[in-house]
Amino acid sequence: MSNVRYKLHPVSAFINFMKSLKELIIPFLVIFGVNIFREGGISAMFNEGWVGLLPLIIGLAVVLMSLVIGIVKWKRFVYWFEDGELRIEYGLFVKKKRYIPFERIQSLNYTEGIFHRPFDLVKVKVETAGSSKAGEAEAELTAIKRADADRIETEMEKAKYPAVPAMGPHEAVTETAEESAAPQKKELKTLYRMSMKELLILATTSGGIGVVISAVGVFLSQFSELIPYEAIYEEVMLFLRFGYLIVALAVFAGLLVAWVISVILTLLANYQFTIQVDDDHIYITRGLLEKKKVSVPFKRIQGIKVSRNPLRELFGYGVVTVESAGGSMGAKDEKIRLFPLVKTADMLPVLRELFPDMEFEPELTKAPKRSVHFYYRLDFIWMLPVIGALGYYFYPYGLLSLLIVPPVIAVGIWQHRTAGYALTGKQLTMEFRGFSKHTFYAWKKRVQAVNVSQTYFQRKRELASIQATIKSGMLGYTARLTYMEKDDASRILEWYQPSPRRIKQKDQPE
Amino acid sequence: MDNQPKNRISRKGLTVWRLYGIIETIILALLAIGAGVLTYFLDWPVWLYAVYAGIVVLFAFLFIYLFPKIRWQRWRYEVREQEIELQHGLFIVKRTLVPMVRVQHVDTEQGPILRRYDLAEITISTAATTHTIPALITSEADELRGMISALARVAEDDV
């Protein structure tokens, strides 16, 4: 074997350093922040001789230390390929070795940060099924040349498809020969590229509701002039209106700033969002400043979720999330978003191409009519006391809280109208709504457990709630349909049950 | 939906739950006594004593008598060749179906109280969920554990 030990690019020392600096910011702010409030402020630090400068000295020492640590970490880090494994040796004081068999590697995810760009480097995250800590990859190569990253991939292909006898003991041949030795490596096919228009819509609608609400607040505060009893409470109202306006404006301004920031962040993160596929992986590339490439093996995909918030639903847009087992990506909010935002019409062909065995628009069996009041009945438990208390203590304005009742009921009815499921062969589809509408698709073989529950009241009305759990990330994702027909629940149980039911009406094993 | 799983958990499980209920009631009673002492020394209204006593009695009735009884009556399980079916719940009756091929591992566990009654609880884990059968005779639990792990072979389409 050619056991060439590869090092990371020197830039990674710098990146390590920056990373630890980032973590130091908060403690530093605390230390110096405290000093500002001390007698004499910051300047006092320089008047007290070396004792006053102590925090500064310590700070500098810490910064220097982290620089040295960054360099040593880079010096110590080596990786090589041996016996079909990716082997890594690293560690500051304690030398650690980590051997990862290539077959166990699920995916290599690439990130290009701003420091990587000028040198054409990438950060590589190696993902396995059971990454040791949630949210952390099994191994991370801070910065390596693109060619080196490609080499890891070819080595991996070689280990996975060992055949090809032509490869003798002379492994250290040229790259091109290796490439041809792994013919399984398929051409990438680009399925979808996000348009600028969609990107803009995504950015502007993602945090939009708060802004809308506060805009309404400002509008309403202007409106209070029209309320007739102003004359009676003139002074009070004047103050109220004034205070109200300022608060509303401040909130609005704050939200606007937050929104603009979130728009910019979303734009940067999702710039040039592209989906590509080869035989066994989906590759998602995105980002402007920090370019990320995530790969998801088809094998690991457990289910698909399409979410549409009301605003986007209105315009026919949706978000598609892929629930994939294991890996660190699922642990953060960085769920694997297959489409951050897409028109339903554009999404379906791509989804069909990706998952040919999946039916994306099956006919849903809806929740029965009689279950509709279940959807808002429980809300009265908290609404009645709240309204009662408000109405009593803040009479008469408190009674305005009654206005909350119709929207709550409307949402309940809306949820009821959305709820539905479909069983199509080996696939379970569930559609439900909290406020956003979610459509959940899962293969039968991926469902970990099915759960049917009935409360006392549901039993009386022959209703039942159904939930199905699939594995997602390190944990599970549970889709839940409430207040469905009891017979539908039985049907799902029966569909899910591997062996025929005990009362053998059908002896179809599946 | 209508045909329940056929096995019940051990009758002794009911006794253990009652025991838990008694322990909880004792703790609550201690709290109530504490409140009573406060009431005495701080001259709070006398009817508070009745409230404390009432709460303790009600709690005792619910957690020693009623809830364990309903829970025990409702708890059913069945381990078949290809799946495990569970039913439990106090107010909400839950039915769970776990295919054997999804089972990743089985644990049995025994606390001091359970051991005294020769009981064990058995926990079935899939990749994403865990399910517990709370009180089985130890030998039965061991047998079941062996059976489940024998039946739960690695399937082709595992996660």
Mean of pLDDT values over A381-397: 83
Report the side by side order of strands in the sheet with A281-286: A139-145, A121-128, A105-112, A291-297, A281-286, A274-277, A189-193
Chain segment B105-114, per-residue pLDDT in tens:
888 888 888 8
pLDDT of residue B158: 45
Among the candidates A350, A382, A413, a domain finishes at: A413
Is the per-residue pLDDT at A75 higher than 80?
Answer: yes
- In this prediction, residues A88-107 reach a mean pLDDT of 82
CB contact under 8 A, B102 and A449: yes
Tokens of A397: 């304005």
Q: Is the model's pLDDT at A49 over the cut of 90?
A: no
The residue range of the domain holding A52 is 1-150
Percentage of chain A lying above the pLDDT 90 cut: 3
**How confident is residue B86, by pLDDT bands cut at 50, 70 and 90?**
very high
Calpha distance A305→A431 (Å, rounded): 10
Mean pLDDT of A238-243: 64
Tell me if A166 is assigned to some domain: no
Q: Is residue A232 part of a domain?
A: yes
Q: How far apart are CA A315 and CA A321, in angstroms?
A: 19
Percentage of the residues of chain B whose pLDDT score is greater than 70: 94
> Quick check: is A285 in a domain?
yes
Given an 8 Å threshold on Cβ–Cβ distance, is B159 in contact with A452? no
Smallest CA–CA separation between A26 and chain B, in Å? 37
Radius of gyration of chain B (CA): 21
A504 lies within 8 A of chain B by CB:
no
Residue by residue, DSSP assigns A164-194 as: -TT--S-----HHHHHHH-TT-PPPEEEEE-
Which residues from chain B sit within 8 angstroms of residue A496, using beta carbons? Answer: 97, 99
Q: For residue A500, what pLDDT is reported?
A: 64
**Predicted confidence band of residue A81 (pLDDT cuts 50, 70, 90):** confident
Where is average pLDDT lowest: A12-26, A172-186, A187-201, A492-506?
A: A172-186
A426 lies in the same domain as A342: yes
Cα–Cα dist A325/A303, whole Å: 9
Between A470, A497, A502, which is nearest B128 by CB? A470
> CA of B127 to nearest chain A CA: how many angstroms apart?
6
Whether A236 has a pLDDT exceeding 60, the answer reads no
In a domain, A65, yes or no: yes
| Percent with pLDDT over 70 in chain A | 76
- Number of domains composing chain A: 4
Residue A61 in domain: yes
The residue among A246, A270, A294 that closes a domain is A270
- Partner B, chain A 323-382, Cβ-Cβ below 8 Å: 325-326
Range with lowest mean pLDDT among A193-207, A240-254, A273-287: A240-254
Nearest C-alpha in B relative to A493: B97
DSSP H stretches of helix in chain B: 11-42, 47-60, 67-74, 112-116, 138-151
Contact state of B1 with A446 under an 8 Å Cβ cutoff: no
Residue A121 φ/ψ, nearest 5 degrees: -110, 165
A452 to chain B: closest CA residue: B95
Does A477 contact chain B (CB < 8 Å)? yes
- Looking at residue B52, its pLDDT comes to 92
Residues A339 and A484 in one domain: yes
**Least confident range of A23-27, A63-67, B103-107:** A23-27
- Provide the residue type at A425 as one letter: G
Across the interface, whether the CB atoms of B126 and A449 are under 8 A apart is answered yes
Which residue, among B77, B88, B159, would best test binding to A if mutated, counting the most A CBs under 10 Å from its CB? B159
A35 domain-assigned:
yes
Residues of chain B contacting A501 with CB distance shorter than 8 Å: 3
Average pLDDT over residues A43-48: 62
Exposed, middle or buried, B146 (CB in 10 Å: 0-12/13-18/19+)?
A: exposed
From chain A, pick out residues whose CB is under 8 angstroms from the CB of B2.
490
Which of A449, A453, A503 is closest, CB to CB, to B89? A453
pLDDT at A233 over 70: no
Is A232's Cβ below 8 Å from some Cβ in B? Answer: no
Q: Which residues of A touch B93 (CB under 8 A)?
A: 453-455, 459
A467 touches B at CB < 8 Å: no
Give yes or no for a contact between A308 and A443, defined as CB atoms under 8 angstroms apart.
no
**Residue A40 confidence (pLDDT) above 80:** no
Instruction: Sort out which chain A residues have CB atoms less than 8 A from B70's CB and list them.
Output: none
Sort out which chain A residues have CB atoms less than 8 A from B3's CB and list them. 501-503
Q: What number is the average pLDDT over the span B143-154?
A: 74
Q: Please, which residues bridge with residue B96 across strands?
A: A451, B86
- What are the pLDDT digits (tens) for A483-508? 888 888 888 888 888 766 544 444 44
ipTM of the complex: 0.74
Highest mean pLDDT of the ranges A158-162, A214-218, A457-461: A457-461
Rounded-to-integer distance, Cα B34 and Cα B56, Å: 13
What pLDDT sits at residue A385? 87
Question: pLDDT tens digits for A314-341?
Answer: 888 888 888 887 655 444 445 678 888 8
Domain-ending residue, one of A413, A430, A447: A413
Q: A329 and A455: one domain?
A: yes
Residue-wise pLDDT for B42-77, tens only, equals 888 888 899 999 999 999 999 999 999 999 999 999
pLDDT tier at A43 (50, 70, 90 boundaries)? low
**Stretch A348-361: mean pLDDT, rounded?**
88
Mean pLDDT estimate for chain A: 77
Cβ within 8 Å of residue A428, ≥6 positions away: A421, A422, A441, A442, A443, A444, A447, A468, A492, A495, A496
pLDDT of residue A506: 40
Cβ contacts (< 8 Å) between A462 and chain B: which residues? none
Q: Does A56 touch chain B (CB under 8 A)?
A: no
Query: Both A233 and A138 in a single domain?
Result: no
The pLDDT value recorded for residue B25 is: 94
Which chain B residue's Cα is nearest to A446?
A: B159
Q: Are residues A397 and A350 in the same domain?
A: no
Of A453, A476, A499, the CB nearest to B94: A453
Question: Are residue A10 and residue A109 in the same domain, yes or no?
Answer: yes
Instruction: Based on the fold, state whether residues A266 and A291 are members of the same structural domain.
Output: no
Check A464 against B80: CB less than 8 A apart.
no
Predicted local distance difference test score (pLDDT) of residue A173: 39
Report whether pLDDT(B28) > 90: yes
Q: Which residue has the higher pLDDT, B29 or A435?
A: B29
Assess contact for A162 and A241: CB atoms under 8 A. no
**How far is Cα A341 from Cα A195, in angstroms, rounded to an integer?**
10
Distance separating alpha carbons of residues A377 and A195, to the nearest angstrom: 44
Q: Is residue A474 part of a domain?
A: yes
Contact status, residue A465 vs residue A415, Cβ threshold 8 Å: no
Chain A CB contacts of B96 below 8 Å: 449-452
The verdict on A464 touching B (C-beta cutoff 8 Å) is yes
Q: Say if strands A475-485 and B7-8 run parallel, antiparallel, or are unpaired.
A: unpaired
To probe the interface with B, which of A298, A452, A462 has the most B CB atoms within 10 Å?
A452
- C-alpha–C-alpha distance, residues B56 and B25, integer Å: 7
Better-predicted residue by pLDDT, A6 or A177: A6
Instruction: Please identify which residue in the block is written with the tokens 């106090």.
Output: B90
A142 lies in the same domain as A219: no
Give residue B87's pLDDT. Answer: 92
Distance from the A332 Cα atom to the nearest Cα atom in chain B, whole angstroms: 17
Give B-chain residues touching A445 at CB under 8 angstroms: 157
Whether residue A342 is found in the same domain as residue A390: no
Do A402 and A423 have their domain in common?
no
Average pLDDT over residues A281-304: 84
Same-domain status, A376 and A363: no
State which residue of chain A sits closest to B90, comparing Cα positions. A455
> What would the mean pLDDT of A114-120 be, rounded to a whole number?
84
Identify all chain A residues contacting B98, using CB atoms and an 8 Å cutoff: 448-449
The distance of B73 to chain A (nearest Cα, Å) reads 15
Between A476 and A211, the more confident residue is A476
Judgement on whether residues A23 and A126 belong to the same structural domain of the protein: yes
Residues of A in contact with B100 (CB under 8 A): 498
E-strand ranges in A278-405 read 281-286, 291-297, 301-308, 317-324, 336-343, 365-366
Q: Note whether residue A231 is domain-resident.
A: yes
From chain A, the residues in CB contact with B92 under 8 A are 453-455
The per-residue DSSP string of A314-350 comes to HTTEEEEEEEEBSSSGGGSS--EEEEEEEEHHHHHHH
pTM score, two decimals?
A: 0.71
Q: Which of A451, A486, A503 should be substituted to probe chain B, the one whose Cβ sees the most B Cβ atoms within 10 Å?
A: A451
pLDDT at B139: 87
- Of A53-62, B73-82, B148-157, the one with minimum mean pLDDT is B148-157
Strand order in the sheet with A420-424: A336-343, A317-324, A301-308, A437-443, A427-433, A420-424, A365-366
